[in-house]
Chain A
């Protein structure tokens, strides 16, 4: 019965991601569901959560900086 099992697994994974996403919203962590799933996969592959948080903050800062530059060039 592998298909039934795997669909049950997928359902459970979705449920876990849903709850983590709700916690993320309550903590104002600013992660959408897709980004959160990627983060969970990275953690499952052994990435340290603090290192991941540092990288995410840097990438967000870079993204905001790029946005500002684009807006300045357009304006």
Chain B
């Protein structure tokens, strides 16, 4: 079992779940744009996967700002502010270089943390991250185009989750319950209010574009200094197979230890949709890096 505790991370109350163990810890960072994504994420997104990894690894699960029980940073809600928070959280945890397992938006955050502070990062596993992947002049993604009202109700969150998985059976009552509970928490309500009041258009969306541009330039020019694996669902409606492969190509240009993995019959939540395959691939990457270093 993982123990929950609240940490002060540069002034942001941050919930972290922890399990002891040896070696580079696996640190999980969940996806979702706070106050915007139509299902509310948090540590619950990972279901029992962190506990499963905790059999062989030290594990931490960080709840990112505006999700779960973690508050919001003082300034504007931007990708940069979230990168600052994740880097500060790792430094506060003080575990030494961590293997970040980062989903969706957090994939972009984790890559930026690795670029900025490689001493905090042993490796990055980027999972189903349209935020981190090249999108070019893609067509509009209609997955969340017309959600049922009211937003973040039980009905709306189940609707959203069922649209991003390969098969709806991956969305169980426990997940929906946890998302509803997270939606009722003060961090999400505050984030939703601020984003709806213009902070999304004014601050977050432009910061996302800038962060992507900075990422691709850094990957192309200097490269990233830590091993990276990209894990994708074969049928992700938010981030296509090609986008995953192009993210791999971008990282692989200058990082020798780069791998790409596809989980079959999985959408945007491959770690819930096929937890066995996901665990196998991530554990193998950690074991392979350890063996290479030995």
Do A and B interact with each other, yes or no?
A: no
Give me the interface of B with A, judged by CB distance under 8 Å.
none
